[in-house]
Homo-oligomer: A and B are copies of this chain.
């Protein structure tokens, strides 16, 4: 049910996402002619062409590009508006857009999958959407309203958002089985030896180089699996979360290096925009997450 329905804008956005009228038919549940008319009407209202279409392919015009972005924004806030008003009725409804960094599913203390399961088990009409991005992107998306909640090790906390501490994540340094250090006995491995080797750096979160005082890292990755793969090549050392290794298929092909000397902790936070915390759906999910984390730490 839609309070703030706007057929023209919704059509436009769907058409862009489907890459043309023909496919959008099925997404919108109307015929291609209806779409054609709606887009024409929108263009008439705007006074300029928003997209080129036809046999040559579908393409947004320059202005159409801007219009598309703005339309997406306003439709998102319209959906939130709907949800807010409908929740006054007593039901839990609307979109719930959650963001995390990658590889959170193996964080035992949090157990996000379990939390989501519990949330979905409750009677509600909420539509979940999960986005994976870097902490910086998550922060941005929270502020613009793209996301309702996000979970990540937020190092730079901004005043617009509220943060709740969730749990710790321990990182250690690893090498692959083809790496020269793989077969070296423990007593021959110290920081000096380690610092002779190339490090693969994650583009956010743990910074290894300062501790080891190695040169600029030759490789940078923005994803945990990518990091694991780079390490598996045997060319790089790299930090990985302990919980991640436990679930990594080839964990026997990786070796921890000086775990007692080299380990880093990052704190995971749950972030929300205070104004959105009013939404019942958001409220419930946040409580679920926090509760799950407390339980995770006790056990």
Contacts and interface: CB of A to CB of B under 8 A. Distances in A.
Interface of A: 1, 3-6, 8-9, 42, 45-48, 63, 66-67, 70-71, 73-74, 77-78, 81, 84-86, 88-89, 91
Nearest to A64: B88
A295 to B, nearest CB: 34
Contacts of A3: 6, 8-9, 42, 45-46
B1 A45 contact: yes
Contacts of A86: 46-47
Given A3-B8, A4-B6, A81 B89 contact: no
A85 B5 CA distance: 18
Number of copies: 2
Contact of A70 (B9, B42, B45, B85): B85
Contacts of A67: 85, 88
B74 A88 contact: no
Contacts of A85: 46, 66-67, 70-71
A31 to B, nearest CB: 23
A62 to B, nearest CB: 9
A84 B48 CA distance: 13
A282 B81 CA distance: 26
A6 B82 CA distance: 12
B89 A47 contact: yes
A81 B88 contact: no
Contact of A48 (B5, B78, B88): B88
B89 A46 contact: yes
